[in-house]
Amino acid sequence: MHFYIKLLYFLFFYFPFSALAQKAISFEFKIGQMIMIGLPDNKTDTGSRLYKDVKAGRIGGITLYERLLTPANSAENLRALVSFYQHAAPIPLFVSITQEGGIVNRLKTKYGFPPMPSASYLGALNNFDSTKYYADNIAFTLSRLGININFAPVVDVYSATNPVLGSRERTFSADPDIITRHAEQTILSHNYFNVATVLKHFPGHGSSSKDTHLELTDVSKTWKNEELKPYENLLKKGLVKAIMTAHIVNTQLDKDSLPATLSKKIITDLLRKQLKFDGVVFSDDMQMKAISAEYGLKESIENAINAGVDVLLFSGNIPGQSPLKGSDLVNIILELIKENRVSSTSIETSYQRIMQLKQGL
């Protein structure tokens, strides 16, 4: 049975890549791979704009929220929904979810999924067998649903006054070494089930006193260099496939006061060059108010790509923000290239990183 499962995975994932390699890839398609959209509902409508964009390669990834779950047969229905979009895509999609555990837990027990305690609980317990047990449960659950990206673990340093991380028990510890060890086990569990993890929120969101979902957040006076330690430790171990940016301002790292997501000094100079990371960089949700209320859509896309972000996430999950179309986002990036505000080289580089991660899955 194990052989046949492997064979099915090979046929499903290898042949789209193989066929793609036999023909020229349009620039529009490469840009599409950089776009990730939140599914608005659980309808399987072949006439929807989203479905058409996925089928045309204008969207390279989808992200899932609790709004997609049904009271009964949750797993079966979600698996069918993921399969619907995967079969439409010319190359397998990134299918992502934020399944940290604790409060940030889309796949709740009321839908029939296994329990998952918070990172703070596991960090305080500091028992690696427990962390492995729960991380294995999450990774296996995601794998059987067809989800191949988990926006976890959080490697921010704990602070009780943080309104969106510390107070919600989303961080393992105030000790970077404890964070590293539990994050490492979380990554290894996911790797075993072929689900990629995305460390967050770079370069450190733990000391913030505001919520970037709601407003711009400045950590310049509170951020400490030790917040980079979990990244440094895990990068040295060769365990980091992907990282998510933070929408925080940190003038210690960028005197221009750009949020990290839009900062070349933070993403390219610090993360890429200094820390030697060449994996995929995901933006945090570009529709969060820290970005969308401060920058125009085209301007934020331009800055994020030039900063070194590979995948731009648009959740459609922020109150007051309208869902966006993959085709419109692709056209904005095509305009930026035509206007010489974004280089075609940066698109090609991101495309290669994305494809490498997808092939690894």
Q: Are 193 and 159 in contact (CB under 8 A)?
A: no
Closest to 38 measured CA to CA, from 329, 337, 354: 329
Q: Are 241 and 270 in contact (CB under 8 A)?
A: no
Helix (H, G, I), strand (E, B) or coil at 64: strand
Closest to 354 measured CA to CA, from 100, 32, 37, 83: 32
Is 8 part of any domain?
no
Indicate the number of domains in the chain: 1
Q: What is the pLDDT of residue 22?
A: 44
pLDDT tens, the chain, 361 aa long: 444 444 455 455 555 555 555 456 788 999 999 999 999 999 999 999 999 999 999 999 999 999 999 999 999 999 999 999 999 999 999 999 999 999 999 999 999 999 999 999 999 999 999 999 999 999 999 999 999 999 999 999 999 889 889 989 999 999 999 999 999 999 999 999 999 999 999 999 999 987 788 788 999 999 999 999 999 999 999 999 999 999 999 999 999 999 999 999 999 999 999 999 999 999 999 999 999 999 999 999 999 999 999 999 999 988 887 889 999 999 999 999 999 999 999 999 999 999 999 999 8
Burial of 18: CB neighbours in 10 Å, binned 0-12, 13-18, 19+:
exposed
| Residue whose pair of structure tokens reads 């105030």 in the numeric block | 174
Q: What is the pLDDT of residue 88?
A: 97
Closest to 347 measured CA to CA, from 285, 287, 301: 301
311 φ/ψ sector (left φ>0, alpha ψ -120 to 50, else beta): beta
Cα 38 from chain centroid?
A: 11
Q: What is the pLDDT of residue 122?
A: 98
Is 321 part of any domain?
yes
Is 243 part of any domain?
yes
Is 18 part of any domain?
no
Is 2 part of any domain?
no
Is 178 part of any domain?
yes
Q: What is the pLDDT of residue 163?
A: 87
Interacting residues of 141 by C-beta distance below 8 A, sequence separation 6+? 99, 107, 113, 114
Q: What is the pLDDT of residue 2?
A: 46
Q: What is the pLDDT of residue 321?
A: 79
Is 296 part of any domain?
yes
Q: What is the pLDDT of residue 276?
A: 98
State the CATH number of the domain containing residue 65. 3.20.20.300
Is 13 part of any domain?
no
Quick check: is 190 catalytic? no
- Residue 186 sits in which domain range? 27-360
Indicate which residue of 190, 201, 205, 213 is catalytic: 213
Q: What is the pLDDT of residue 12?
A: 53
Quick check: is 284 catalytic? yes
Indicate which residue of 53, 156, 254, 284 is catalytic: 284
Distance CA 100, CA 123 (A): 13
Q: What is the pLDDT of residue 19?
A: 52
